[in-house]
Chains A and B, each alone.
Chain A
Amino acid sequence: MSHSQRHTPVLEQLCSLLVKDYYGDLAHHVFTVLARYGRQTLANLTRESYLDRKAIKAGLVVLIQQHLIFHSSIDPRVAYYEINWQRSYALVRAGSMLKLGEDRFGQKGVNVLANVVYLGHTRISDLREAYFPSPNDPSDSDSDDEPVGNGTLRQKANGDGLTNGNTPSQAKAGQANGLSHQSIEPADPQMPSLHDFYATINTLMRHGWLVTFDELTFLSPDDLEQTVRIEAIADMFSGKPPLAAKDKALLEEDVLRRRRLVREKALEVPAFKSLQSSSQAERKRDDDGAGSNKRPKLDMPRTPISINDTFPEDKLVVGINYEKVNIAMRTEQLTRVATQRIGHSTGQVYGALLYQLEKVHQRCWDEWSDPAATKKEDEDDHEDDPKYIDPKFLISTRKVAEVVDESSLDLFYGLDPKTIARVMGIAAFDGTKFDPPLDPHNLSRDQKVALVAAHCSLLARDPFHFVTWHSKSGNSQQYHVEFDEVVKACIQLEIEKTIQAQKGPVAVSVIRALKRKGRISEQQVALFLMQPLDNLRGLFTDMFRRSYIQTQEVPRVERREAKLSMHFMWYDQEQVRDKLLQDVYKAMGNFLQRLESERDEIKELLTKAERTDVVGNEARYLSHDEIAALKKWKGVEEKILLQLHRMDELVAMLRDFAGPLGSP
């Protein structure tokens, strides 16, 4: 089974609660049946769920539209449905995804992202139709009825065609992500022109946040593998599965390559005709004038796109790429860790550095990675050097200095005064106070680069090794980030923080001692920590019960008496990571259950408050107590949703930023 499709009962429960919360009972029902029985056909689903076929289909449509299930028709007679666990979990992440998108792409970007999240996936023309309805045919401007996805979904972007009758309430999404966007209206102030619309989508696609969807996107990893395997066998071995070991290895390699190709194809961004026309005109104007070849600014006048113009890209079907979201989350979280460990300015410099690297990384870790990928270019030169790093992954301090905004950041903060004196060329410095004081907001370019380099050096010297020095280029330094190692250290930090909170500081010492010493007896742990064994024994039992440490009994004599056996214990980071992840899933499930029961408590009042005559006239129709109760409910909901978001950050750190760590 693909790593991304691993699931446990706890995750199943969490995901079905999420589906219930977002898409209502029908979708929830179908989802739970699929979760219980695994990959199913429609006929089997009907049999197991006691719902009629029509209702099940309606539920399936919602789930497919939102990518919560895969479906495969490899067997032409029947389609199979299977839960997409990653996307089902990602429901909880929608809010933070939009926040990250807003930080990166501004209001227009997040507006488009929010609509795509709401719709699951959409054809660009449909999205355009929703923003800028064509005057001729408001029902369907697109004559091309090419099937999207499974062919049953020709969803209108304005969201009125949902077949199960459960409106996936936009209000709810709004609550979760704090956006006030209620509906897409023509001439949305967020999206003033068609050119803005295409430019926004193009930017989102170039940054990998939106990817094109096709039939293969709806296949589960296992189905995709099977499909490409059949293709590979047909191409390489004319349809007969290979028998020789060498051929088998070749086939496996080719299957991996084809899987990567599928993935890369989704990331390709076609040239947008809609943007070319205007930018060509723009360039022409520029050539006449100052001759700058800078990209055109939106505010400049340009040839407007007519509402009747159509472009080839309108047929593209796009959806959110959560792998990129993970990268953005990684940037945020690593920045936070660096800020906590070293200091604000250093953390911000690190954030800027990671942000620059975001574009070159497609995913946090690659399940189908190509072992030879790093050696693709200049193969001869780097074949022998395992430490060769593709130059695109390097980042220079000069580049970071360019994006760090010194007008609002004090680059002196957190640096050794001697470093500052050296950079600023102050010869006489008494080591305590700069007199006259230095202006942190008025630095020369070189000073800025040198200060950024000093912060990078702090990052590199930290035990977490946030960055790794690579080389010197000119008067700036090149760094790269060994994400696997940094994330591993961060995972360890999360584990230690949890153990510290649950079992106290001595337990953390025990974990660290075991991590350092490997598999040792309890006496040796006590000896190493200089603690009386009797004090530790209870803690060991406790930690063992919580699966934080593993134990092993090795008999010394044949009789296998416990007294005469050696008892070893060790710490397995991968196992504890998984255990903690499951605990967090469970806690998130608990939060959703609690949210539901809290909502039930004031169900009647909520129904009353949502009545159309009451909305806007709360003071007139609701009593004082009722308004107070509503206010309290808002607080409770906010608190629970915030905590869910924070737990999701922990899940991202534990699960998404690094692949399997390997056991000691």
Chain B
Amino acid sequence: MASASSHDVDEDAKPDVSLNDGHALDAPSNAAPAAPQPAAKSKLDAPARRAKAEELYQKCLEYPPDTLFFQRDLSNMEVAADMSELAHLLQELVDRLLLKLMILDNDPCWKYRSREDAQVLRSLTSDERLLYHHIDQEQNKGVWSKTLRSKTTLTLPQVNKALKALEARKLVKAILSVKHPSRKMYLLMDVVPSDDFGGGGWQNDSGELDHGLVNQVSEVIMTWMKADTCVEVAADGSDYTGNRAAAIARKKAHVQQTQDIEDFPTRPAFTPPFRPTGKMLIPRELASYPTATSLAKRVNDTGFINNKTLTAEDMNQLLEIMVCDGRLEKVSGNYRASLAALSTDYSGGFIDAPCGNCPVFDQCVEDGQVSARICVYFREWLQTESARAYD
């Protein structure tokens, strides 16, 4: 018996597997090149064939779902007498939607459906079944409703009606892609969308990026990061006032002493630092830097986001964004809270000046229509009454 576990084969099979549910679904004719063709004339009568097919299906059911059966696996089940009979039996099962024909590495293979699933599929209209087939073929890439329309040559109301019915039966789902936010992409219900849809763990149920979630989680992470990588120091942690007078006297002496040119020049006297009232954050000496994995675990463990688990990859994505925002900073591969987000204390001579933010900076030339000599922004900045050219 050569059937592999569904998981193993699926992993490998994904890129190559295309699906053909056989004639009942009007599948593209090139889907099953090597499938055994039923003989022109069947040796078995209908009830016998039905019974044998049922037996084959029962044998398949003994394997876990999603197992792939190749032709030799099925013939090894010793139900069909010969290859042509096996072909008939398989055709019968495919027609009844109990088996799903697929191609892996140019070899036909089959996967079984549960009786309930098959029953649901059988109850679909032909339009719905057609759409289901196309959606199934795209697997985790999803298919846009407009593409479905062009593939099936159905009209818009027909497609919409069929998709609505499929959604109602919980056979397919529509999600939005970050790449194409306006497009509804359809996937089978149990298929996990591919990474192209973006967002990953940050999408909500309809596939949209959940900004609320992103903001909430990043807020929480900031709190944790600050606690883990920084230490809060009160301004009066070491409230030394005891010998202030002596210190001032020393400082005074230092300032007043005459400097000798032949001394190695010392730096100008330092001014005592301004101690802000309240508290300040200081990087820890020995910080335990949180990682994406540890943070993802922590978020999942606290369970403050419902019905969702974040992977380390999702967390990494968020951390990268927070670095770009300037909320975190990366130090040799570790993340820590940034205490010096673009400071505006000393913003620089250019952007403080009228020119730095001037909307007509590029048009400004000497003796031009716009020029510094008659510039109104300069006048505002200098608070002068000059530049009479404008008055």
A→B interface (CB under 8 Å) = 13, 103-106, 108-109, 196, 199-200, 203, 207, 295-299, 336, 340-345, 348, 351-352, 355, 403-405, 407-410, 412-420, 432-434, 437-442, 454, 457-458, 461-463, 493-494, 496-498, 500-502, 505, 508-509, 512-513, 516, 523, 526-530, 532-534, 580, 583-584, 586-587, 589-591, 593-594, 596-598, 601, 632, 636, 639-640, 643-650
Let me know if A408 and B254 touch, CB within 8 A.
yes
Check A109–B357 contact: CB distance below 8 A.
Answer: no
The reply on B271 being an interface residue by CB < 8 A is yes
A-B contacts, 25 of them at CB < 8 A, read A104-B265, A199-B261, A352-B267, A403-B267, A414-B282, A416-B282, A416-B285, A432-B234, A433-B234, A433-B237, A497-B347, A498-B348, A502-B357, A505-B342, A527-B178, A528-B317, A529-B321, A532-B209, A586-B361, A590-B364, A590-B375, A590-B378, A597-B387, A601-B386, A647-B350
Q: How far is the CB of B101 from chain A (nearest CB, A)?
A: 34
Count of A-B residue pairs with CB < 8 Å: 250
By a CB distance below 8 angstroms, the chain B residues around A295 are 262
**A408 x B198 contact (CB < 8 A):** no
- Cβ 8 A contact of B382, one of A351, A355, A636: A636
Task: Tell me if A340 and B345 are in contact (CB < 8 A).
Answer: yes
Complex: A497 Cα to B209 Cα, angstroms: 29
Q: Identify the closest chain A residue to B251 (Cβ).
A: A408
A439 to B340, CA, bound (A): 28
Per the 8 Å Cβ criterion, residues 364-387 of B in contact with A are: 364, 366, 371-375, 378, 382, 384, 386-387
B261 near A498 (CB under 8 angstroms)? Answer: no
B353, A437: Cβ atoms under 8 Å? Answer: no
- Taking a contact as CB atoms closer than 8 A, the residue among B202, B347, B353 that contacts A530 in the complex is B202
Most B CB atoms within 10 A — which of A103, A440, A587?
Answer: A587
B320 neighbours in A (Cβ, 8 Å):
516, 528
Binds A, one of B30-38, B54-62, B163-171, B324-332: B324-332
B65 contacts chain A at the CB level, 8 A cutoff: no
**Nearest-CB distance from B113 to chain A (Å)?**
36
Check if A598 sits within 8 Å of B386, measured CB to CB: yes
- Is there contact, CB below 8 Å, between B386 and A530? no
**Chain B residues with CB under 8 A of A412:** 238
Asked if B233 is at the interface (CB within 8 A of a chain A CB), the reply is: yes
Nearest chain A CB to B235 CB, angstrom units: 10
Q: Is the CB of A434 within 8 A of B247?
A: no
Interface flags, B239-253, vs A, CB<8A=1, else 0: 111110011001100
Q: Which residues of A contact B357 (CB under 8 A)?
A: 501-502
Quick one: closest B residue to A112, CB to CB?
Answer: B261
Contact (Cβ within 8 A) B356 A501:
yes
Residues of chain B at interface, number, CB under 8 A: 84
A414 proximity list for chain B (CB < 8 A): 273, 282
Our pick among B251, B349, B351 for the contact of A648 (Cβ within 8 Å) is B349
Binary A-proximity of B301-341 (CB < 8 A = 1, otherwise 0): 00000000000000001001101111001110000000110
Q: Which residue of B lies closest to A587 (CB)?
A: B355
B residues less than 8 Å from A502 (CB atoms): 351, 356-357
B239 touches A646 (CB 8 A): no
A residues less than 8 Å from B317 (CB atoms): 528, 530
A645→B349 contact, CB < 8 A: yes
Within 8 A of A (CB), among B137-192: 178-179, 181
Query: What B residues does A336 contact at CB under 8 A?
Result: 346
Determine if A527 and B351 form an interchain contact, defined as CB atoms under 8 angstroms apart.
Answer: no
Q: Do the beta carbons of B386 and A463 come within 8 Å of each other? A: no
**How far apart sit A454 and B268, CA to CA, in the bound complex (Å)?**
23
- Nearest A-chain residue to B202, judged by Cβ: A530
Since A199-B261, A440-B240, A584-B350 are in contact, a sample of 11 more A-B pairs with Cβ atoms closer than 8 Å, ordered by chain A residue number, is A295-B262, A342-B340, A405-B270, A408-B270, A413-B273, A415-B282, A418-B285, A437-B238, A462-B331, A463-B330, A647-B349
Task: Note all chain A residues with C-beta closer than 8 A to B324.
Answer: 508-509, 512-513, 516, 528-529
Q: How far is the CB of B9 from chain A (nearest CB, A)?
A: 31
Residue B275, interface by CB 8 Å: yes
Give chain B residues whose Cβ lies under 8 Å from the Cβ of A528.
317, 320-321, 324
B391 at the interface (CB under 8 A from A): no
Chain A residues with CB under 8 Å of B298's CB are: none
Q: Is the CB of B353 within 8 A of A340?
A: no
